[in-house]
Amino acid sequence: MSGAAIVLVHGAWGGAWVWQRVLGPLRAAGHRVFTVSLSGTGERAHQPHAPITLQTHIEDVKAVIECEELTQVLLVGHSYSGMVITGVADQMRDRIAQLVYVDAVVPLPGESWSSRHSEDTQAQRRAVIQAHGHLPPSPPQGMGLNAEDFAWVERRQRPHPGGVYDSPLQFDAQAWAALPRTFIDCDRPALLTIAEARKRVRQQPGWTVHEIPTGHNVMISAAPALLDLLLAMAGAQPSPLPTPANS
């Protein structure tokens, strides 16, 4: 079987639907591509939010990799899911070939999604979570979307489970740093909550950084540019092992 194994993980308030514009072309290029809707999000928004933590979302992605028997995975995470793919890589590092952070959180060991948000943002989000148990979606303003795409995103967004916000992530930073890591910086306009990640990837060794002059939801606002980068990275991956005939 030719092509790379690619797993795409959406950010907060999203779902597998966010990848629609790159999914078909990646598969048409011969790659095995899987999109994950994390527990309590997207078409799984009906699930009870109370028990969902960051580890739940990590397990969601691990389950896809395990059930599809994927190896040499190009693991792609958008926004909040920088936390998720970091945890997945730590817990099944022998399956991961490369990590791609699409305008995503880049954590240090012990940090949570909330750690690098401003005090005002933390207080506001914690108050909402305490009141509702989740983070309701807000209109996707300041993300560089045209009117049609803005409406497309707004009507698909769903509340994000509140239990993930302060879930800390412990991981082996040295083993993680040994993996090839790419950061795709989308800073026109720049999303404030990703500001710390932009600094880190330019300070930590081992990063490849690409810039796409668009807003945070690059897979929607500049899908062809993102597709070109993913195809280039997938082309550099070894082919995954064939699926056993009796599976």
Cα torsion angle, 92, 97, 101, 107, sign: positive
3-state SS, residue 106: coil
Q: Are the C-beta atoms of 48 and 171 separated by less than 8 Å?
A: no
Q: Are the C-beta atoms of 58 and 82 separated by less than 8 Å?
A: no
Structure tokens given for 70? 């994927």
Give the residue among 111, 76, 37, 71 at the shortest CA–CA distance from 183.
76
- Which residue, chain included where needed, has tokens 């082996």? 172
Cis peptide before 189 (omega within 30 of 0): yes
Cα torsion angle, 192, 35, 155, 152, sign: positive
Cβ-Cβ contacts under 8 Å for 7 (sequence gap 6 or more): 33, 34, 35, 36, 61, 64, 65, 70, 73, 74, 75, 76
Q: Catalytic site residue 79?
A: yes
Among candidate residues 37, 39, 79, 81, the one labeled active-site is 79
Q: What angle do CA 247, 99, 201 make, to 5 degrees?
A: 170
Give the residue among 123, 148, 183, 156 at the shortest CA–CA distance from 37.
156
**Catalytic machinery residues:** 79
